[in-house]
A and B are shown apart, each in its own frame.
Chain A
């Protein structure tokens, strides 16, 4: 395990150190907003103390794990391919943009536009789990994968902002709440979660609880709704040929 005190090292230097080292496990101390940490990283694990800058774990690859003890900023997990990113706090806007695989767990809240255009392919089933709330435009253009918002501090109130799921055409958004958002587009269809639905996400929820020491019973003992694309009403511009 290699310990690095980052301070005001440039992101280029930091990433280079990680990439070229023969070590596979790192503990980064005193991180101060360096961008692109672990971009494209493969088969390495990092723990971060301090606030990582934008685009943490962008294009993250197989076998990687990033554990952040604080908040992180915008574009976390941008175009993530595989691996795990665990944030013990909040994350900024546009987390998990175009995520293709792996897991992004956020203990508290995510900003606007989380999980835009997340997509699944063959064995890749990306997932984002957010402990408290997510801002507007969650899962915009969602093409595949699973987003779960648990609303742990919301007492059953809707844990997402406006325009949730706009442009969704694949995948699932699962909300732990008593009230659904009141501005869902007609291209999204909702239903109460059945036992099979919860079974299918049990593994990732359990892992989420273990990471942050949440009580599993509290989580499961609540209402869950499933949001899915309505295949009968696709997004379609009304064209007429000339």
Chain B
């Protein structure tokens, strides 16, 4: 019998649940909150993928790049370790501690490293630190078979697996981590993804994206962003969206609000009704960045070191709710996912299609 193609060899459409929780003051709270939130959206997933991104979880190592890596076998591990040693100073390495959960099985080797680019190699490359790390990450993921760098940012990490998200959170002992920003994702793929790398969030450097929906512009976006050194090895919507945000925000230094207006550009009929100054600006963005336009239903939560951004497609075909209480901001696909962790809210808001909702740290952490 032919082996069923794995995620990345083919493209697997899916639907999902997303959730995000953020402390504006940078107060760190347990990952259990994110688990409790995503648990109530159990019906939006089918147990074939779940994951979390936590920020502020490694304060003792906050100046180093925290790599979370999956290894399918020891050969992959050796190859990857060789690569890392050739390119980085390894400050610390260990297996990521996990719990035995009956519903989470067949796990790969899961390791964590705190790294700093090797000064000589970095100087030789003439790249900025972040770009150097990004290229190494993409290189490992596209070239070393069986090794997958799950996250590569500072003072943050992505924890994902095949299973319901609440079980995944349990598996990774997220109740023992504390961070100021958590996002969670539960997946409903239409066939077996085959391996853990395909679960969400997808992350590169300090960006991580959780995404609900399926975009029809995928191949137009992918074939464009791959011109700039990115490799879409997983063939997921989340991956291509993350790369586009990294490119526009980090490399082209475009602020996130404008990035949102590129990804979810308003319709021409709306642009034509704007005042001259705005019209010129939106027309410029829409024309020059036409291949970054995302069509099809989506709601995404983007985490980065300073905040969270929630964004819906222009027709708002997926649901998204935002709630605030004192210092905390909550975002989720369903209101209940917010109420279950924050029954009383100061305000509740339903972002419109194409309108970004951005919340940022009010002080340094």
Contacts and interface: CB of A to CB of B under 8 A. Distances in A.
B217 interface: no
A237 B40 CA distance: 44
A53 B340 CA distance: 12
Interface string B323-352: 000000000001111011000000010101
Given A32-B40, A136-B315, A136-B316, A92 B335 contact: yes
B30 to A, nearest CB: 20
A93 B336 contact: no
Contacts of B316: 93, 111-112, 135-136
Contact of A54 (B270, B334, B339, B352): B334
13 contacts: A32-B336, A32-B340, A33-B41, A50-B339, A51-B335, A51-B336, A53-B336, A71-B348, A73-B319, A92-B335, A109-B350, A111-B319, A135-B350
Interface residues of B, number: 20
Contacts of A162: 270
Interface string A123-140: 000000000000111000
Given A135-B316, A136-B315, A182-B273, A33 B334 contact: yes
Chain B contact residues, majority secondary structure: loop
B40 A33 contact: yes
A90 interface: yes
A93 B319 contact: yes
B352 A161 contact: yes
A103 B164 CA distance: 37
A100 interface: no
Interface residues on A, range: 20 to 34
Given A73-B319, A111-B319, 16 more contacts: A32-B336, A32-B339, A33-B41, A33-B336, A51-B335, A51-B339, A53-B334, A53-B336, A72-B335, A73-B334, A90-B348, A92-B319, A109-B350, A135-B352, A136-B353, A162-B270
B16 to A, nearest CB: 14
B120 interface: no
A78 interface: no
Given A32-B340, A51-B339, A112-B353, A74 B319 contact: yes
Nearest to B44: A54
Contacts of A182: 273
Contact of A73 (B315, B335, B353): B335
B43 interface: yes
Nearest to A51: B336
Nearest to B312: A112
A32 B340 CA distance: 7
Nearest to A54: B334
Nearest to B43: A35
Contacts of B126: none
Interface in B195-228: none
Given A92-B319, A93-B316, A112-B353, A33 B269 contact: no
Interface centre among B319, B336, B353 (most CB of A within 10 A): B336
Contacts of A137: 315
A109 B339 CA distance: 18
Contacts of A197: none
Contacts of A54: 334
